[in-house]
Structure 1
Amino acid sequence: MRPSNKAARLDAIRQSIREHKVSSQLQLSELLIQQGINVTQATLSRDLDELHATKVRFPDGIMAYWIPDISNQSILEMTTMTMTHAEESAKADQYLAKVLTGLITSVKRANNLLVVRTLSGAAQFAASALDRQPISGIMGTIAGDDTVLIVSPSDDQAADRARWLLDITSGDVAQQERLEA
């Protein structure tokens, strides 16, 4: 039994998406009802947005919801075919490209630090999106109003992450995705 509050509902949504390949809001609603949680479609839609849920194609071809902060291990357990590290990385890149494109205005490097400028008010959202992903070369972020500081373990990794961040936010991932389709 769960308490009837938003935090419990969001946790139930995370758990349902982690344990099942949820392909629609109707399916998710039915899973929540089985747990004693009744929710309107509008609330469910807002909750999925707040959790940054997005639909991705799993290796077995099924399109289902994926929440970025679910551990990679849980995603692997959900699939009958194992995703490779490259596939996991591509999914994270697609998610970040979708979220960060249009928000980042510049990336500058100072040794192992990246100073990322965003639109006014977007820095905390951008930093949170980056922090939710297991990205090698990023130890953590600090966000203000329009600036994100990214700390990398080394100068070389910071240079790689700067190029990568510019690539995914410049539409290269989206262009590549269209070419592969």
Structure 2
Amino acid sequence: MKKSERIDLIKKILVEQDIMTQDDLVNALLDLNIEVTQATVSRDMRELRLVKVPAKTGGYRYALPESNRLNTDAEFFQSVVEEIKKQGNQLAIRTSPGSAMLLKHRLLTRFEPLIFTVLSDDDTILLIATTAATAEKIYTSLSN
């Protein structure tokens, strides 16, 4: 198999499966009767500039950088937000582990004029909006 064919196959696998480790990718290729070594897969992954993104099942999976950028905010919010509570101009947002910092960045990018401040740790965000009305607007956007 040519390298370009293998790269195309890896892209297809990454779209269809949650690949969490290099071993997962090696095994997925072996399941398709493609003989590869760990070193070859490692080089291919580096060439593709794969990124780790939150998996819907928890943990992180490998993804193509362009597919990561194409995710809409709504798709991203839906994949990482587990619970949202609203009180006045404040939102308490619980996320999948490790996702809060990335969500915080996305929230600031999308809603910056509506936000007074955002505090986050590994899996929780406290967002303080400028008013209760703007908090409601952000809450509605995240809940849909």
Taking structure 1 as the reference length, the TM-score comes to: 0.41
Larger Rg belongs to: 2
Whose strand fraction is larger, Structure 1's or Structure 2's? 2
Taking structure 2 as the reference length, the TM-score comes to: 0.50
